[in-house]
């Protein structure tokens, strides 16, 4: 297609607006109609000849803004935008780019992605065998796998594995195709015998055992009382995934043992279990314990996933969810999520100490309480400099957060009913109150997810620059 572009023919030469040929977008690309483009310093270096690596003629301007004209939208990010609330603190040790933020809630796939098993040696008989084995193990009468050709078997993710797609695919890769009578029990005993070996691939052994089906649970149970902790953990995790309630007690021991290298993984396994009734008790034990913050947070997330009735949830101003869990041991804890959904967990019954004087670094809110006061006076200042009338709330952290996050406005008596702070701002205020000792509670923000923790290293250069 023909498009107009400002072409630089050589060093320090005048730009020439010309018609140029543009290839149509390839797979994974989109066509954008540019409305404006910035001039980056790296473009200036090309113009002046300081960057001699670029051939001429050349079209500069990689900082474009425009409208997508052609391309497939396969996912959309929606939800509140979370900006690091600690970015402008002098004590912040982490470099922060205020032009970047996280969309809490992530993205929604608009188009299903194709999942296929690919045979290295094409064989229609083998493809049908794989298809039948997958359907026997996961289908429940439905067609999960379809042999499309001698090389490909298409897959549908079963509903019970939604949000656990990688786990399902790992199970598929560990299925045995043999239909020989008695094979499952014989292979289960062989795998159980391999588990004590410290060099053995324990994850793979567990997946292979699980793939054999519930009929081999006795072989897995025989390992629950083994002397080696890695054996009891991997066996119990496999057993619980096969709905064996006897595995709950074994995982509970790991979850409550601060010296177990499998503690956090055991808590996470209990939280992900389909058998929610029995796994709730050990999760509550962890939450009410003196274990470290990470263990207690993992237990909280498991209880929320189980929709436990003792977790009291409240929607604050259609802005975020506040969970209150009245744990009576282990100390008060405040935990803030920054992925999946905006959510603050108040574990215990933390209160603000008095006397109190707090002013947000950007002047968003001022909190005041005398030494003997039973209430906090709060004043909100907007970005335009307007100041709200003073309003009060109790010393309970749950009540303070409710006031901060409720929609700005007044009730029928003319009293301020909410201060309208956004989620990032509330996290900043609560963190500041914990930091200065006003709130005596542990404070934790959700750790990065797997993609953020293990993904490609972020560029330290100017975003969008290729130079």
Which tokens go with 230? 């890695």
Q: What integer pLDDT is reported at residue 92 of this predicted model?
A: 47
Q: pLDDT for 401-412, tens place per residue?
A: 999 999 988 888
**Same domain, residue pair 303 and 341:** no
Asked if residue 355 has a cis previous peptide bond (ω within 30° of 0), the answer is yes
Which string of b and e fits 241-262 if b means at least 16 CB within 10 Å?
bbebeebbebbbbbbbeeebeb
Length of the chain, in residues: 467
In a domain, 106, yes or no: no
Report the candidate in 161, 168, 153, 252 with the shortest Cα–Cα distance to residue 210.
Answer: 168
Q: pLDDT for 177-206, tens place per residue?
A: 999 999 999 999 999 999 999 999 999 999
Contact 178, 136 (CB under 8 A): no
Total Cβ atoms within 10 A of residue 172: 21
Q: Give the separation between CA 62 and CA 11, rounded to whole angstroms.
A: 18
**Same domain, residue pair 290 and 211:** yes
**Same domain, residue pair 339 and 301:** no
- Reduce the secondary structure of 213-260 to three states and give it as a string: CHHHHHHHHCCCCCCCHHHHHHHHHHHHHCCCCHHHHHHHHHHCCCCC
In 162-222, which ranges are continuous DSSP H helix?
A: 165-173, 183-194, 202-212, 217-221
Q: What integer pLDDT is reported at residue 464 of this predicted model?
A: 35
Domain final residue pick, 18, 39, 72: 72
3-state secondary structure of 12: coil
Q: What integer pLDDT is reported at residue 52 of this predicted model?
A: 67
In a domain, 127, yes or no: yes
Q: Give me the mean pLDDT over the 409-437 stretch.
A: 91
Contact 395, 424 (CB under 8 A): no
Range of the domain at 255: 183-315
Per the structure, how many domains does the chain have?
4
**Same domain, residue pair 291 and 320:** no
The sign of the torsion formed by the CA atoms of 307, 308, 311, 313 equals positive
Q: Give the phi and the psi of residue 7 in degrees, each rounded to 5.
A: -100, 135
Contact 422, 319 (CB under 8 A): yes
**Same domain, residue pair 151 and 212:** no
Q: Give the separation between CA 143 and CA 369, rounded to whole angstroms.
A: 65
pLDDT over 90 at 249, yes or no:
yes
**Same domain, residue pair 273 and 327:** no
- Banded pLDDT at 174 (limits 50, 70, 90): very high
**Same domain, residue pair 195 and 287:** yes
pLDDT over 80 at 71, yes or no:
no
In a domain, 88, yes or no: no
**Same domain, residue pair 241 and 335:** no
Report the candidate in 173, 234, 172 with the shortest Cα–Cα distance to residue 205.
Answer: 234
3-state secondary structure of 97: coil
- Banded pLDDT at 434 (limits 50, 70, 90): very high
CA angle, 274 as apex, 273 and 275 as ends, to 5°?
A: 90
pLDDT over 50 at 280, yes or no:
yes
Domain final residue pick, 173, 198, 220: 173
In 365-458, which ranges are continuous DSSP H helix?
A: 397-405, 423-435, 450-454
In a domain, 82, yes or no: no
**Same domain, residue pair 190 and 136:** no
**Same domain, residue pair 324 and 408:** yes
Which one has a higher pLDDT value, 309 or 176? 176
DSSP bridge partners of 321: 315, 343
pLDDT over 90 at 415, yes or no:
no
Q: Give the separation between CA 359 and CA 368, rounded to whole angstroms.
A: 9
Report the candidate in 284, 346, 333 with the shortest Cα–Cα distance to residue 309.
Answer: 284
- Residues near 350 by Cβ (< 8 Å), separated by ≥ 6? 332, 334, 396, 397, 439, 440, 441
In a domain, 296, yes or no: yes
Total Cβ atoms within 10 A of residue 283: 26
pLDDT over 60 at 454, yes or no:
no
- Residues near 49 by Cβ (< 8 Å), separated by ≥ 6? 11, 12
In a domain, 341, yes or no: yes
Report the candidate in 244, 240, 235 with the shortest Cα–Cα distance to residue 193.
Answer: 235
Share of the chain above pLDDT 70, in %: 90
In a domain, 222, yes or no: yes
Q: What integer pLDDT is reported at residue 466 of this predicted model?
A: 32
Domain final residue pick, 315, 347, 376: 315
The sign of the torsion formed by the CA atoms of 250, 252, 258, 261 equals positive
In a domain, 463, yes or no: no
CA angle, 460 as apex, 456 and 461 as ends, to 5°?
A: 120
Share of the chain above pLDDT 90, in %: 60
**Same domain, residue pair 321 and 309:** no
3-state secondary structure of 193: helix
Q: pLDDT for 26-58, tens place per residue?
A: 777 888 888 888 878 888 888 888 876 778 899
Q: Give the phi and the psi of residue 361 in degrees, each rounded to 5.
A: -55, -35
Q: What integer pLDDT is reported at residue 367 of this predicted model?
A: 97
Q: pLDDT for 94-126, tens place per residue?
A: 555 656 677 776 677 777 778 999 999 999 999
**Same domain, residue pair 123 and 189:** no
pTM: 0.75
């Amino acid at each position: 297609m023909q498009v107009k572009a400002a072409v630089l023919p050589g060093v320090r030469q005048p730009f020439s607006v010309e018609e140029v040929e543009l290839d149509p977008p390839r797979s994974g690309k989109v066509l954008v109609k540019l409305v404006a483009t910035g001039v980056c310093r790296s473009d200036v270096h090309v113009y002046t000849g300081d960057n001699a690596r670029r051939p001429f003629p050349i079209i500069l301007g990689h900082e474009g803004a425009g409208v997508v004209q052609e391309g497939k939208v396969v996912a959309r990010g929606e939800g509140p935008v979370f900006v690091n609330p600690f970015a402008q603190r002098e004590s912040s040790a982490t470099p922060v780019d205020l032009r970047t933020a996280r969309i809490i809630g992530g993205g929604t796939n608009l188009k299903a992605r194709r999942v296929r098993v690919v045979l290295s040696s094409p064989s229609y008989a083998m493809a049908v065998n794989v298809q039948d084995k997958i359907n026997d193990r996961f289908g429940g009468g439905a067609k999960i796998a379809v042999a499309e050709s001698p090389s490909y078997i298409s897959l549908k993710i079963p509903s019970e594995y939604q949000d656990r797609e990688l786990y399902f695919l790992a199970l598929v890769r560990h299925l045995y195709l043999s239909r020989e009578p008695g094979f499952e029990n014989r292979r289960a005993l062989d795998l159980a015998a391999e588990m004590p070996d410290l060099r053995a691939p324990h994850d793979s052994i567990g997946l292979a055992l699980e793939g054999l089906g519930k009929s081999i649970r006795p072989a897995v149970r025989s390992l629950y009382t083994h002397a080696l902790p890695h054996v009891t953990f991997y066996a119990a995790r496999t057993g619980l995934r096969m709905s064996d309630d006897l595995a709950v007690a074994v995982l509970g021991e790991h979850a409550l043992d601060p010296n177990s290298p499998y503690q956090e993984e055991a808590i996470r396994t209990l939280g992900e279990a389909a058998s929610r009734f029995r796994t709730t008790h050990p999760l509550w034990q962890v939450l009410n314990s003196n274990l470290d913050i990470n263990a207690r947070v993992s237990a909280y997330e498991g209880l929320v996933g189980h929709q436990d009735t003792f977790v009291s949830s409240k929607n604050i101003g259609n802005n975020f969810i506040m969970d209150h869990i009245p744990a009576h041991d282990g100390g008060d804890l405040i935990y803030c999520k920054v992925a999946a959904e905006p959510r603050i967990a108040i574990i215990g019954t933390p209160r603000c100490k008095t006397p109190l004087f707090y002013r947000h670094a950007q002047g968003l809110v001022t909190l005041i309480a005398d030494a003997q006061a039973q209430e906090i006076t709060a004043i909100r200042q907007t970005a335009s400099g307007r100041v709200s009338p003073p309003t009060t709330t109790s010393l309970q952290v749950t009540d303070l957060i409710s006031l901060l996050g409720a929609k700005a406005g007044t009730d029928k008596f003319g009293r301020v009913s909410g201060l309208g702070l956004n989620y990032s701002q509330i996290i900043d205020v609560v963190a500041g109150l914990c930091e200065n000792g006003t709130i005596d509670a542990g404070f934790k923000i959700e750790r990065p997810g797997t993609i953020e923790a293990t993904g490609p290293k972020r560029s330290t250069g100017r975003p969008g620059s290729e130079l």
